Amino acid sequence: MNTAKTIQSALISVFDKEGLEPIVKKLHENNVTIYSTGGTEEFIKSFGIPVVAVEDVTSYPSILGGRVKTLHPKIFGGILNRQDHEGDIAQMEEFQIPQIDLVIVDLYPFEKTVASGASEADIIEKIDIGGISLIRAAAKNFKDTVIVASVNEYALFLDMITNGNGATTLAERKLLATKAFHVSSHYDGAIFNYFNTDETVYKASIADGQVLRYGENPHQKGFFFGEFDKMFNKVHGKELSYNNLLDVDASVNLMSEFKNDKPTFAILKHNNACGLATRNTMKEAYMDALAGDPTSAFGGVLIANGNIDLATANEINQLFCEVVIAPSYDADAIAVLEEKKNRIILIQNDVELPTKQVRTCLNGLLIQDKDNITDNKELLKTVTVTAPSEQEVNDLLFASKICKHTKSNTIVFAKNGQLLASGTGQTSRVDALRHAVEKANSFGFDLNGAVMASDAFFPFPDCVELAKNAGITAVIQPGGSIKDELSINYCNENKVSMVFTGTRHFKH
């Protein structure tokens, strides 16, 4: 069965006319009758191409300031009629409805208008009625009608009619209909989300997806849905993988805690920081971050909160790393970092991040607010007789920021603005602490005078006892256990200071 259909008539009514010219010229070349409205009509006429005004078909003018133009049975009948249905054929003739084989229409820029900060009145006027109806009608009737619902499909459609000598196949029409329903559903989702205030209802639609080389492992398919190019300028390196993107996400979230601090550098592996330091220069910050765990740093993701200069780049270049991220680089620093062909170099732009976190769970989704509380001096409550020194308070808050972004159960050791070690993702807090002590010792760190951060409370005093024996002098934790006094009493008896934040930072 031949499913190819030659286009003999077209309705064209678009807001964005960029890229439309070669299409209307090709349609005119193929002797297609063109119907149009308003600005699009004038645009087509400017090329000397004849156009039939929609008003001449409907015998009804555009009314209500242009809100009603195409909403008429003679237009929708021409689009929705079934060309192999005797009843439809008879009614088309009875009511003198013209056949419309092709619809090219786009939608008012609702999302751009919202993003511009426009008034509610202006936003409401950008809710398209006629356009969305035309798209749905033509897409529904893809068996007989062609729909081009976005400027993004102009090139594809032009290739179709050029290669098909003005005709399209059923498969091509169904493909364009699928793309059209994507346009309409995304548009409706954006409108709903603008109005919606009910947090128990969730709708999400991301227009552009990226196929990744694979997922977490080579046997898994992987995709990224988002606007990566808005957030980063990728200046060098291979394509980012699924795991790269997870590490980049963890890096960006962690470094946001240090955005306005002195030069700070972090190295992450498997979403956890294995090195982090704040210093007077970026090179010093990098060197001390690397010293935190030079073994795990191999193949990691590196991120800075400020400019990477040549001196820092020369040091980085001695390490095999997957990704380097910074808000800026000196030109000679980029030249050095580009010496490794596959190394990914990203310039991070100042882009607002989502306020919600979404992940799959069972046969649905889990959605939560981001953990947007950063522990600060005003939140601290000293619960021991011995109070932390000013330097210890600074280190406690430093350690707390890292702890917040480390997999639970976690313990973090820090001293003088440097991550010494952490115990990550352990099933018990004691194991996390022992792991941190072991790591610190293995890299030659002296824990005497260091501080400890915990993402949750201590139900027993065993953790503070182990910490004290390792040399820890100050502890930060949320508090809240019914047995808090056991840990507090131990600290008092052993001259260890402890502060409560009142905020738990689990990261599952």
Print pLDDT tens along the chain (508 aa). Answer: 568 899 999 999 998 888 999 999 999 999 999 999 888 999 999 999 999 888 878 777 777 777 777 778 888 888 988 888 888 888 888 878 899 999 999 998 999 999 899 999 999 999 988 889 999 999 999 999 999 999 999 999 999 999 999 999 999 999 999 999 999 999 999 999 999 999 888 888 887 789 999 999 999 999 999 989 999 999 999 999 999 999 999 999 999 999 999 999 999 999 999 999 999 999 999 999 999 999 999 999 999 999 999 999 999 999 999 999 999 999 999 999 999 999 999 999 999 888 999 999 999 999 999 999 999 999 999 999 999 999 999 999 999 999 999 999 999 999 999 999 999 999 999 999 999 999 999 999 999 999 999 999 999 999 999 999 999 999 999 999 999 999 999 999 999 999 999 999 999 9
Domains 5-195 and 225-348 share a fold: no
Whose CA is closest to 48, among 21, 30, 85? 21
Query: CATH fold of 225-348, please?
Result: Cytidine Deaminase; domain 2 (3.40.140)
From CA 133, how far away is CA 11, in angstroms rounded? Answer: 13
Of the candidates 81, 109, 114, the one whose C-alpha atom is nearest the C-alpha of residue 95 is 81
Which token pair is 432? 């996390």
Q: How many residues does the chain have?
A: 508
Is-contact 322 343, C-beta < 8 A? yes
Mention every residue, 6+ apart, whose C-beta is less than 8 A from residue 160. 168, 172
Superfamily of domain 377-500 in the CATH hierarchy = AICAR transformylase, duplication domain (3.40.140.20)
What is the 8-class DSSP label of residue 99? P
Q: Are 436 and 426 in contact (CB under 8 A)?
A: no
* Domain parsing of the chain, residue ranges: 5-195, 225-348, 377-500
Structure-token pair, residue 268: 């992450």
Helix (H) or strand (E) segment spanning residue 438: helix 429-442
pLDDT given for residue 2 in this prediction: 62
Query: What amino acid positions are annotated as catalytic residues?
Result: 140, 270
Residue 284: which H helix or E strand, with range? helix 282-292
Task: Give long-range contacts, CB 8 A cutoff, 24+ apart: 154-162.
Answer: 154/19, 154/20, 154/23, 155/19, 157/23, 157/104, 158/22, 158/23, 158/26, 161/7, 161/26, 161/27, 161/30, 162/26
For the domain spanning 5-195, the CATH number is: 3.40.50.1380
CB of 279 within 8 A of CB of 285?
yes
Cα–Cα nearest to 297, from 307, 311, 284, 286: 286
With residues binned 3-state (H G I as helix, E B as strand, rest as coil), the percentages for the chain, rounded to 5, are: 40, 20, 40
